[in-house]
Structure 1
Amino acid sequence: MTNPLSLLYRDDHLVAVHKPSGLLVHRSKLAGGEREFLLQRLRNQLGQRVYPVHRLDRPTSGVMIFALDSATAARLGESFAARQVAKRYLAVVRGVGPGQERLDYALREEDGSRPKAEMPALEALTEVKRLDSVELPVSVDRYPTSRYSLMEVRPLTGRRHQIRRHLSRRGYPIIGDAKHGKGNHNRFFAGRLGCPRLLLAAVELSFEHPVEGGWIDISCGLDSGMTALFQRFGWAGHLPLDGARQRQAPLLAST
């Protein structure tokens, strides 16, 4: 039997869940022979229809919001489209990442509908900050030791694979990223450290409630694999916890 999804928040209009890594949100042309989807599992668990309002890539874990009616879905979808939702991610990358930086590399959409050269380059902004780093006495690449960093990531736009592409272009690919990362480091984490997944997790969403007003901050802990890795690397102090809080104060604009 499949374990129930972890519910992070629920009211009469919204529900927030912890999406596991490797689970598709809903059916699509990328689904192939998949039979299990987050949307279906949540619907069955709650016994009612749910409406997605944003997306997470299949290998990314973390907090996802669903509306419980179409009107709320439309309102919250408009907030995401208008960049009125603050998002916070944690990522484990190769190398010692930048202390704090705003990445502004324009990105072409990767929707597969036409050649990339015909797709316009769109504005893409991501704020990154190194929270910690570790050096392992293991030669994974051409150096005698290997260094990795824990990055806090706040995307200010919502382009497809934006975080993965921005960090890779900056020279700090996310561990476990098969397309934009480095295979030797991915294999090392999978085989030696027990982390065969993309090490990217959506750990917080903050937004104005589309019906009741006021602000909601929803946080999401990491799965067991990433938690064990953080503890092994001495990063336990950065582990997020499941939780939700409501407040009246508006969010501060990013600088």
Structure 2
Amino acid sequence: MLEIVFQDDYFVAVNKPAGMLVHRSWLDKHETQFVMQTLRDQIGQHVFPLHRLDKPTSGVLIFALSSEIASSVMPMFANHEMNKTYHAIVRGWIEQAGVLDYPLKVELDKIADKHATLDKEAQDAITDYQPIAKTELPIAMGKFPTTRYCMMELKPRTGRKHQLRRHMAHLRHPIIGDTSHGDGKHNKLFRHELDSHRLLLHASSLSFIHPFTGESVVINAGLDETWARLAEVFDWLLPQN
């Protein structure tokens, strides 16, 4: 059963678990569980995705309840009229909030995009970031006697592929658990020492003006057991919805 965090006559939103695909993909033929099919069976009607979350990312994922609704509101996502807030645990300490304006080249999939053009110009990509907690562990890493990590609040103003993962890597503070853009040594530390086997990136909230009722909508999704366990180890207070 998926956790439904919002539902009305037009939309339904769930707290997507880490490691679950949004829909079937021939790139992951071995997968048997998908958010779309599970949610359809759970509420007894078809659902239509309005955006996506990467397989390893958890958090708010919203669907339209008809194709007509989906078609009419897709421009809201294209025009970034829906505000998203994420939380992540990254390597090292970031001491101050900031805005990263760093264009990103289109990231192509080796299989799905093998015939795509490789020479596209970089696209605008902007992320607001703010540190909200930090920790230092007595575990040596390379020439350093300890390891440092911090929890970040991230707000993307644009929606490029893997934007948050790539932006944090650009800042030299990669997200823990990121096997594509992260630091393998720190990922291994979290797996072996802290029993954390996921990408520590979570879509915590989604807010927008409801296109049919005109009301302000804020949808929150709580953090999972891995986050709760790490917060206890690090003596952190997790963000409250």
TM, length-normalised to structure 2: 0.94
Unaligned runs of 5+ in 1: 242-255
TM-score (normalised: structure 1) = 0.89
Q: Is 1:152 aligned with 2:163?
A: no
* 8 A Cα contact 1:222 1:240, kept in partner: no
3-state DSSP class of the match of 2:226?
helix
Hey, what does 1:41 align to over in structure 2? Answer: 38
Q: Could you tell me which amino acid in structure 2 is paired with residue 235 of structure 1?
A: W
Q: Distance in 2 between matches of 1:167 and 1:115?
A: 26
Letter in 2 for 1:222: L
Query: Match of 1:106?
Result: 103
SS across alignment from 2:27:
coil
2:222 match: secondary structure: coil
Partner-residue secondary structure (3-state), 1:103: strand
Deviation at 1:116, TM superposition (A): 7.5
Aligned-partner residue type, residue 64 of structure 2: A
The DSSP-based 3-state class of the residue aligned with 1:121 is coil
Name 1:246's counterpart in structure 2: none
The one-letter amino acid of 1:124's match is A
Q: Aligned-pair distance for 1:117? A: 4.4
Alpha-carbon offset, residue 191 of structure 1: 1.1
In the alignment, which residue of structure 2 is the partner of 1:240?
Answer: 240
The alignment yields a C-alpha RMSD, in angstroms, of: 1.3
1:138 equivalent in structure 2: 139
Structure 2 counterpart of 1:94, one-letter code: R
Match of 2:9 among 9, 12, 15: 12
Distance 2:166 2:143 in 1: 23
Who is 2:123 aligned against?
122
1:60 to 57, 61, 70: 57
Mapped to 2, the partners of 1:8 and 1:83 lie a distance apart of 21
Q: CA deviation at 1:89?
A: 0.3
Cα distance between partner residues in 2 of 1:169 and 1:14: 35
- AA partner of residue 128 (structure 1): Y
Match of 1:207 in 2: 208
Matching residue of 2:162: 161
* Identical residues among aligned pairs (%): 44
Counterpart of 1:101, as a letter, is G
Look up the match of 1:218. Answer: 219
Q: Residue 198 of structure 1 aligns with which residue?
A: 199
Match of 1:244 in 2: none
